[in-house]
Amino acid sequence: MARPIVRESAQVTGLGVVSAAGSDLETFWGAILSGRPTTTVVPALHDSMIRLGHAVPDGDLDDTVDISVRSRADRFIQLAIAAARKAFEDAGLSEDEVSDLRTAVVIGNSLGGVSTMEVLDRTVRDEGERFVSPLTLPAAINNMAAGYIAMELGCHGPAYVVSTACASSTDALGLAMKLIRSGECDLVIAGGTEAALTAPVTAAFHRMGAIDRSVRAPGGGSRAFASDRSGFTLGEAAAILVVESATSAARRGARTYAEITGYAATNDAYHVTSPEPEGQWYRQAIVGAVADAGIGLHQLDYWNLHGTGTVMNDAVETKVVNSLVGEKVPVSTTKPVTGHCLGAAGAVEAVVALLSILHEAIPPNGNGLDLDPALNPIDLVTIPRTGRVNYAMSSSLGFGGHNAAVVFAKTERTRP
């Protein structure tokens, strides 16, 4: 007789974040609630038209990333290791508990080691091929974010990198949930990382018209959903969640932040960069994630939007939000605070959603700006709100038509 299938629940038992908004949870949450952007002058952009970005202070990596790794791995890998170690510690894990085949690593990343590839290009042009480091490719290819975390923590289960542009780490969290639900894994180190504050990357976004060109001084930020919005400010970050089966968490006596209860992904199949104007496939991702969570749309207490601040994205998102929940669910985007962290954005914003549940507070729209009256009406939060948050959702869109959303739910084991 076939064994009955018992669907495990996917509990989040640890969080780690490394970002311009803070590299510990308390500082990060304080910055998110403030709504104030964290832009600084980025030395790597000194010759660029865009010189500001949301950069992680170098000192934030000193205690978590070994100097030998920093000398041979691209920055996106270093950020991932730092966030993973923080999440690992937050979850109260030991390496003995993750060393078997039932612990996986799933990381979202978009661009890989762009800094390393730029050094490679300069070296070949200016010095010649014989001066190229043999460690160049392992330092740069994006699967190494998962590979390095597995090596650092001793995880012997599957190790994946998901690359769906700016939806990458939302999809990574969805895959982590599925690995737990299916019973394939007991524990997944999941999240996202990106370090693309480089002159070529900012130039490419600038030429695309996606960068907010009005931000000219440190502390300025994008103006998502505002009438004068003109794009995003670029950020770097890593955010990692320890996702664990309820059985494993109970066995360890672990406290949880929440359960991942829903996930869905779709594709517009429309355009390489622009979302489908009516948002019909983004809408389906939202409907699917909420249905997967087993709740109704109006049971959501907070929805963290993608909110890039581009004219098209914000118009499509507000159209979808209005069509699904009107003005009955509080929404905001935190990208003006953290910057747009590309492949890491979904994981960073998942941490925001989880801390919203934990602290029973809804963060404001970054920069605290009012909604453009020309957009569809939504309940855009402009100052922090307090109140019980039972269900929170984070959604992402990415170049190539990618749409994804994850839903989190408070549980009886949620941390006090």
> Exposed, middle or buried: residue 86 (CB in 10 Å: 0-12, 13-18, 19+)?
buried
Question: What average pLDDT does range 276-295 have in this prediction?
Answer: 98
Are residues 270 and 131 located together in one domain of the fold?
no
Are residues 291 and 403 located together in one domain of the fold?
yes
pLDDT, tens only, 138-163: 999 999 999 999 999 999 999 999 99
pLDDT, tens only, 196-216: 999 999 999 999 999 998 888
By C-alpha distance, which of 83, 85, 23 is closest to 238?
Answer: 83
Question: What average pLDDT does range 270-288 have in this prediction?
Answer: 98
pLDDT, tens only, 380-410: 999 999 999 999 999 999 999 999 999 999 9
The answer to whether residue 5 sits within a structural domain is no
Alpha-carbon distance 365 to 382, whole Å? Answer: 5
Are residues 198 and 287 located together in one domain of the fold?
no
Q: CATH no. for residue 359?
A: 3.40.47.10
Are residues 212 and 120 located together in one domain of the fold?
yes
The answer to whether residue 413 sits within a structural domain is no
Query: What are the Cα distances from residue 52, in Å, to 10, 42, 197, 228, 262?
Result: 38, 6, 9, 19, 36
The answer to whether residue 189 sits within a structural domain is yes
Are residues 266 and 229 located together in one domain of the fold?
no
**Residue 46 a catalytic site member:** no
Which of 54, 185, 340, 341 is flagged as catalytic? 340
pLDDT the model gives residue 68:
83
The answer to whether residue 4 sits within a structural domain is no
Are residues 99 and 241 located together in one domain of the fold?
yes
The answer to whether residue 83 sits within a structural domain is yes
Are residues 234 and 372 located together in one domain of the fold?
no
Which of 155, 306, 341, 402 is flagged as catalytic? 306
Are residues 381 and 302 located together in one domain of the fold?
yes
pLDDT cut 70: percent of the chain above it: 98
Alpha-carbon distance 295 to 289, whole Å? Answer: 9
Q: Categorize the per-residue pLDDT at 416 as very low, low, confident or very high, splitting at 50, 70 and 90.
A: low
pLDDT the model gives residue 286:
99
Q: Categorize the per-residue pLDDT at 415 as very low, low, confident or very high, splitting at 50, 70 and 90.
A: confident
pTM: 0.96
Element (H or E) spanning 304, and its range? strand 302-304
pLDDT the model gives residue 39:
96
Q: Where is the domain boundary, 216, 231, 252?
A: 252
pLDDT cut 90: percent of the chain above it: 90
pLDDT, tens only, 245-271: 999 999 999 999 999 999 999 999 999
pLDDT the model gives residue 399:
97
pLDDT at 414 over 80: no
pLDDT at 6 over 70: no
Q: Categorize the per-residue pLDDT at 5 as very low, low, confident or very high, splitting at 50, 70 and 90.
A: low
Q: Where is the domain boundary, 212, 227, 252?
A: 252
pLDDT at 314 over 80: yes
pLDDT at 4 over 70: no
pLDDT, tens only, 39-50: 999 999 988 889
Q: Are 197 and 42 in contact (CB under 8 A)?
A: yes
Instruction: Please name the residue that has the structure tokens 């542009």.
Output: 165
**Residue 340 a catalytic site member:** yes
pLDDT at 278 over 70: yes
Q: How many domains, the chain?
A: 2
The answer to whether residue 224 sits within a structural domain is yes
Q: Where is the domain boundary, 233, 252, 271?
A: 252
pLDDT the model gives residue 368:
80
The answer to whether residue 230 sits within a structural domain is yes
Mean pLDDT of the chain: 95
The answer to whether residue 3 sits within a structural domain is no
Are residues 228 and 266 located together in one domain of the fold?
no
pLDDT the model gives residue 213:
85
pLDDT, tens only, 62-111: 888 888 888 899 999 999 999 999 999 999 999 999 999 999 999 999 99
Are residues 211 and 327 located together in one domain of the fold?
no
Containing structural domain, residue 219 = 11-252
Question: What average pLDDT does range 311-323 have in this prediction?
Answer: 97
Are residues 159 and 211 located together in one domain of the fold?
yes
**Residue 54 a catalytic site member:** no
By C-alpha distance, which of 119, 155, 156 is closest to 137?
Answer: 119
Which of 54, 155, 166, 402 is flagged as catalytic? 166
Q: Are 400 and 163 in contact (CB under 8 A)?
A: no
pLDDT the model gives residue 2:
46
Q: Categorize the per-residue pLDDT at 1 as very low, low, confident or very high, splitting at 50, 70 and 90.
A: very low
pLDDT at 173 over 80: yes
Lowest mean pLDDT among 44-58, 190-204, 308-322: 44-58
Are residues 48 and 188 located together in one domain of the fold?
yes
Residues 6+ apart with CB under 8 A from 243: 10, 11, 12, 13, 173, 176, 177, 180, 187, 188, 189, 190, 260
